[in-house]
Structure 1
Amino acid sequence: MLTAIVTGATGITGSAIVRHLLEDPSITKIYTLSRSQPGEKDARVQHVHLDLQDSAEEMAKSLSGISAEYVYFCAYLAKPDEGEAARVNGALLSNFIRGIELTGAVKQLKRFILTCGFKHYGVHQGLPKQPLLETDPRLEGDMGNGAKWPPNFYYTQQDILKEAAVRGNWEWVCTLPNDVIGYAKQNFMNEATAIGLYCAVSKVLPGSQLIYPGNRLNYFIFNCWTSADLHARFCLWAATAPGAGNNIFNVINGDTQSFQTLWPRMAQRFGCKIPENMFDPATTKAYTAESTDTEMKTKNPISVHAKKLGIVNGLEVSRTPALHLPIDPQKWAQRADVKEAWGKLKTKYGLDQAAWDKATWDFLTFVLGREWGCVGTMDKARKLGWTGYEETWESFERTFEALEREGILPPVEQLKRDF
């Protein structure tokens, strides 16, 4: 009898893990923990309403009688302040672990899988050294000029996890996915939803032009993405793979992609046209009020490698990281003509207004506004036997199809006929 606990079970990564656990006949019981709706319905699934912001003692009451060999921890709370994010998310994890210690559930635990991300490398702060390796040093302590690197809640959680594993004599695994592509019911916090909405509305606007909202450098840099399904398969592999315990792993699709390839595919799929001179100011002139230039408050993370790389006085170190967008999606989504176009789509195809209201335009602003890539390797996991791979465009395509079925995006073939 193999059992699993999944926290954040209704989120994008958590729900994907539950679906893949259900495909494994050796798993006889899955406890899904979340504050919201139950999610997957199956005889092997038992949903427990759990608020991870409760104390360890309160959680222990909700978790009474629940134990498992494997825990998949996918829950987190987004906070704009880095220090607050570290405090809150550290408490979520530590109180949960303390809760299962109080119930005695840790006696059965074999491995605890924690989902983190590429923020581990400071990709949200500026240009990192690439490719990103699990052995890269943390961004902690002195940043230079008397400043310190801001707190990183992934480091806080990893330290809590390692200490608890030693205390309880079980193993841990930390996964680092990047820009996760996937879908979960009533969860609109993902890149694919915002991009899909941008493309669909662009189809309705006069001329059906699909202007890339990000900057020119961003269009040509290379990145890695992570399919929620591939990440789920990795988590199940890492839970039992020999030698995988007590390790941090990058988890990415396996290809290296760029919007110079993806954007034309987006245009073709949604029936839009890409302007011949997309980055000419004349093309985006009508959107001047929606442009954004924001300087970051940190140094480029590559600076911690400057001496080793021989670039102590290089531009990569001295230049202040910034976000630049000719069209900021957050501002674009507030335009009257854009809202009117969305209204047409919503009415004609019966789409979910919450998808528009809760779309993570701010995340899209960051992803498309940065002037640096985020490329990691899968070498560490591959050496242990991981062979998973997914082509990134297929990840987007499959997610768009799911969003159509759920009434978040319009049916694309009908959209192309109607507009």
Structure 2
Amino acid sequence: MPNAIVTGATGILGREIVSELGKDPKTWPNVYALSRSKKEDYPFNVKHTHLDLQGDPKQMAKELEHVDAEYVFFTAYLAQDDEDDATKVNGDMLQNFITALKLTGAAKKIKRFILTTGGKQYGVHFGRPKNPMHESDHWLTNPSYPSNFYYRQQEILKKEAEEVGFEWAVTYPNDVIGVAKGNFMNLVSAIGIYATVCKELNQPLIWPGSPHFYTMFDSFTDSTLHAQFNTWAAFEPKAANNAFNVVNGDIESWQNLWPKVAAKFGLNVPDKMFNDKDLANEFGDDGLIMPLQEIPPISEFAKEAGLVGSPVNRQSYVHGKLDLSKWAQRNEVKVAWKKIAEREGLDREALEHATWGFLNFVLGRDFDLVISMSKARKAGWTGYRDSWESIEGALERLVGEKVVPAFK
């Protein structure tokens, strides 16, 4: 029976992997959950170990002296404002962690090392990607782009796997739906707070993002489904030394999801939410217009696809009818949240800690995101989630985390 190591154990994806392994002590008798802090109780087969992945490998080795496992699940991630900084910080964390395991001798025991990355693999943060996105799509090398830390991490992993002698796998989740205690880096927490305040102010649930993206398509990843994929990838022979997209398997649009969010909170969506001015992206002081990279990722595939000179190669933007970062600072919003938190016993700091800039980006893009699951299906993966059920389930879990009030 194998042991497992999970880094980033308190994050939205790491937490679910720990939970999934913790439910099966017969298969996983020892699960080492590594993070800088412990935020919840674990099953008896899960052992928390403090670890600062930004530390020196020798110091990490001391903290990992009694930790070894056949399977490693690396989900740790540290956000940075600058992409080049993100490449250095996150690449160094992975490299130093593996170096620490080599210093303790634990690296020799590893059979498979599974790295979690994400949709940035395809440059979705740069602008319009090639759709659908496939794992075989070449990496983006245009010198106008900032560095991509997922590329550096994968290069490190493959090099170390070859030198040490273990197998590897990489996952590419996108727009993750899930909940982690005290972790607001997820779109559902911010959506839930936004809807809660709209209800308190007796306002309809106005779509704050791009009028264009409202009817476009997105691919989501349920955090529990991603955890199940990781356990599948740990043992599946066809997963060895391969990277996989991991999304729910449906293709959704907010024109379908947003009215369901409204109904969940007992709110309405106005029947005339957009006008000609909105569709022209001419927003006032409360709106948002943010250019992405001048050359979108689709342009790197333009020649082979016959799209040279096509409008799809134009610069992409993040648009918003409402800049949520500014909205969260409005006095009426702060007063309303304070009232709600006191009345319902909610986390008073949730409004401030929610990642409004992240939600601006997720809802404000002016391009589709369609991610293929064909490679994983061909390898034998059959997991699937309905994205609305994922969102609704996450909203219900936020009630228990005291982020939104109980639904009536």
**TM bucket normalised to smaller:** over 0.9
Aligned-partner Cα distance in 1 for 2:384–2:327: 35
Q: Is the 8 A contact 1:277 1:283 kept in 2?
A: no
1:118-197 correspondence to structure 2 within 5 Å: 118-142=119-143, 148-197=144-193
Aligned-partner Cα distance in 1 for 2:117–2:96: 18
Aligned-partner Cα distance in 2 for 1:373–1:400: 24
1:298-309 correspondence to structure 2 within 5 Å: 298-309=294-305
Where 1:12 maps in the other structure, the secondary structure is coil
Amino acid at match of 2:233: A
Aligned-partner Cα distance in 1 for 2:256–2:125: 23
Aligned-partner Cα distance in 2 for 1:254–1:292: 31
Q: Is the 8 A contact 2:22 2:42 kept in 1?
A: no
Where 1:209 maps in the other structure, the secondary structure is coil
1:19-418 correspondence to structure 2 within 5 Å: 19-24=19-24, 25-37=26-38, 39-142=40-143, 148-206=144-202, 208-280=203-275, 288-317=284-313, 319-413=314-408
Where 1:47 maps in the other structure, the secondary structure is strand
Aligned-partner Cα distance in 2 for 1:288–1:304: 34
Where 1:10 maps in the other structure, the secondary structure is coil
Aligned-partner Cα distance in 2 for 1:107–1:137: 32
Aligned-partner Cα distance in 1 for 2:229–2:18: 13
Amino acid at match of 1:129: K
Q: Is the 8 A contact 2:288 2:321 kept in 1?
A: yes
Amino acid at match of 1:12: I
Where 1:312 maps in the other structure, the secondary structure is coil
Deviation string 1:7-33 (CA, Å, 9 cap, x unpaired) is 000111001001100122211000010
Where 1:154 maps in the other structure, the secondary structure is helix
Give structure 2 stretches of 5+ with no counterpart: none
Are residue 14 (structure 1) and residue 47 (structure 2) matched? no
TM-score, L = length of structure 2: 0.97
Aligned-partner Cα distance in 2 for 1:162–1:122: 21
Aligned-partner Cα distance in 1 for 2:40–2:150: 26
Aligned-partner Cα distance in 2 for 1:172–1:282: 50
Where 1:127 maps in the other structure, the secondary structure is coil
Aligned-partner Cα distance in 1 for 2:96–2:40: 24
Aligned-partner Cα distance in 2 for 1:134–1:64: 36
What is the CA-CA distance between 1:313 and the residue it aligns to?
A: 0.7
What is the CA-CA distance between 1:373 and the residue it aligns to?
A: 1.5
Deviation string 1:244-264 (CA, Å, 9 cap, x unpaired) is 111110000010000000000
Q: Is the 8 A contact 1:38 1:47 kept in 2?
A: no
Distance 1:282 1:86, change over 3 A: closer
Deviation string 1:42-74 (CA, Å, 9 cap, x unpaired) is 221111110000111111111002110100001
Percent of counterpart pairs with the same letter? Answer: 48
Distance 1:40 1:134, change over 3 A: farther
Aligned-partner Cα distance in 1 for 2:139–2:338: 46
Amino acid at match of 1:259: W
Aligned-partner Cα distance in 1 for 2:243–2:86: 21
What is the CA-CA distance between 1:328 and the residue it aligns to?
A: 1.1
Where 2:333 maps in the other structure, the secondary structure is helix
What is the CA-CA distance between 1:354 and the residue it aligns to?
A: 2.4
Deviation string 1:164-209 (CA, Å, 9 cap, x unpaired) is 0001110111100001111111111110000111111111113x30
Aligned-partner Cα distance in 1 for 2:389–2:274: 27
Where 1:243 maps in the other structure, the secondary structure is helix
Aligned-partner Cα distance in 1 for 2:35–2:23: 21
Aligned-partner Cα distance in 2 for 1:353–1:297: 36
Where 2:319 maps in the other structure, the secondary structure is strand
The number of aligned residues is 404
Give structure 1 stretches of 5+ with no counterpart: 143-147, 414-419
